[in-house]
Amino acid sequence: MVKMKQINTKNLTLFLFWQYLVTTFILMFLYTGGNRYAPELTHFVVDQNYLSDLGRTIDFAGNANPYWIFYTLTLSLVGIGIFLFFVQITKTINHKLKYLLVLLALISSISYIGIALYPVNVDIATHVKFGRMAFFSFFFTSVLFHALVDKKKYHKANKLLFALNALLFGYLLLMLFGPSSSQGIWALQLKTIAQKVMVYSQIFLCLLIFKNINSK
């Protein structure tokens, strides 16, 4: 029974990550709301739309977005997946600080759900605050896990964690010190591309780390 529960939790975690990848790609094709500099467009532009635009209740053209609820749901689910991911890989650690790791993971999970529940067009200030909390708490959780994990036993996972942390650190620098999207379309392109590279790399690296640790 215990083994079956563990298997189900692992599969649930994998599902929660993959559903976000699949759902966001589908929503990109369904999106018709334009972007900051071209509200008249009727399609999603990879280098001009943020992923959060998929969750707008009202699009840039002023029309209702009937698919926003699906982005809210998929982002909330991946937030839960992030918590389950860290809880499970933390089982490989025999150190008191693992409880701090779980707490940070919970903060990150709640923050991702917060991003989903406060669409950017409804409450941009709260949306941005949750966004920063999500990435910062995820970064600190990942760094702490990297410091505590058995680097000899989980050699490959250790390398993947280093890559993940490096990407997160670079994105956080851009988030804090990079240009504002309002400075021009070049700034919007820089930040929207960086966001997608970060988010999708984050998920794929988590999947690889999860697979590597669970194979031991």
Helix axes 185-214, 68-89, angle to 10 degrees: 40
Q: How far apart are CA 145 and CA 1, in angstroms?
A: 29
Structural domain boundaries of the chain?
A: 2-214
Q: Model-level pTM?
A: 0.91
For 119-132, the pLDDT digits (tens) are 999 999 999 999 99
Give the pair of three-digit tokens for residue 27: 């929503």
Q: How far apart are CA 102 and CA 97, in angstroms?
A: 9
Task: Fill in the amino acid letter for 77.
Answer: L
Phi, psi (5° rounding) for residue 96?
A: -60, -25
pLDDT band at 2; cut points 50, 70, 90: very low
Q: How far apart are CA 105 and CA 119, in angstroms?
A: 22
Statement: residue 160 has pLDDT above 80:
yes
- CB atoms near residue 170 (< 10 Å): 13
State how far the alpha carbon of 131 is from the alpha carbons of 126, 134, 139, 158, 210, in Å: 8, 5, 12, 26, 24
* Average pLDDT of every residue of the chain: 91
SS3 of residue 58 by DSSP: strand
User: How confident is the model over 151-178, as a mean pLDDT?
Assistant: 89
Burial class from Cβ neighbours inside 10 Å (0-12, 13-18, 19+) for residue 139 reads buried
For 8-23, the pLDDT digits (tens) are 888 999 999 999 999 9
